[in-house]
Amino acid sequence: MYNDIKLEKGLYSITGKSFTEALEQLDPSKEYRGTELEGLDAYERQLKRFDIKVSGAGCDRVEKFFLSTESAVLFPEYVRRQVKAGMDEVSILPDIAAAQTHTDSLDYRAFSVTKVDSGSTAAQLTDLPQTTVKLAAAASALTKYGRRFSCSYEAIRKQRIEAFGVILRSLGAQISRAINSACVSALGTGLTPVTYSGSISYGALAAFWAAMGDYDMDIMLCSPELMAQILALTEMKYCVTDFMSSGKVVTPYGVTLIKCPALSEGTALGLDSKCAAEVVFGSDVIVDIDKLISNQCNEIAASVLCGFSVLTDGAVKKLTKAS
């Protein structure tokens, strides 16, 4: 039972397992089906064990984590989860990544898909049209993205856990914005842009969509200024109902628009999200376990390793304003 688990720092150091996965192995969630604890994961059951409320009207203060050596072990995972939640809130990766790869290496070799010949038919005794898959000539290093938050235990111990979580999520959001910026830079490098003059028109927008050719543009990342122009187009007023029901802005021809401050003014990237981009993660969100447990969080550092590559030529297009 969850009340009998011995919590110690070593649970964070099991190769190939996260802290929660290590807890799940000791305290499987399947054992709680049909009970009042169904729906909680192994970590959440430990919060219940030590009566630590992390949200709501009865939310505890941060110092509740440090009432015992065992409950203190839960604090780094709370920090990691909040940072990860902040990253997820602003990340564009789930919308644009055709594939997510996880590796335990510090670098990776991307590959690309290129159609050498057009069409898919061949006359008798002739070669079939060819699609070529190549690995990059050299490995690309994964980049570490992270933030360090300096604080003292005395400064946060009396703060509500829920309020402290807001700070941690904002730290995660800062990390994710840096990742978004690096991602759009990687995707847009080397592309010959489609251009438009003056303010964007609905015709120019439709022409950009058509420029994708064989691929189906279903995502368009837009700079905030360009996004505002698009939303002001008369033709877009018919899309208000979609936004009200789903929270997403979709053009009349089915392209989801995403505001992306990392893009320069007047710029957009169009993607076929089914085959355009790969995101490679070298780690999950990492926090400094020892400092958070032993030193009562004099400093919080969080980071993640990742990199990006374009999988298919032609599946990403760039739109810019003519100079």
The model's pTM = 0.86
Inter-residue contact 255 to 220 (CB < 8 Å): yes
Beta-strand pair 111-115/277-281: unpaired
Q: What confidence category does residue 141 fall into, taking pLDDT thresholds of 50, 70 and 90? A: confident
Q: Is the dihedral of CA 50, 52, 53, 58 positive or negative?
A: positive
pLDDT in tens, 73-119: 999 999 999 999 999 999 999 999 999 988 888 888 777 666 666 66
Ramachandran bin of 145, using left for φ above 0, alpha for ψ from -120 to 50, beta for the remaining angles = beta
Closest to 64 (Cα-Cα) out of 158, 187, 144, 183: 158
CA end-to-end span of the chain: 67
* DSSP-derived 3-state class of residue 300: strand
Q: Which residues contact 37 (CB under 8 A, 6 or more apart)?
A: 2, 45, 48
User: For residue range 193-247, what is the model confidence (pLDDT) as tens digits?
Assistant: 999 999 999 999 999 999 998 899 999 999 999 999 999 999 888 776 666 566 6
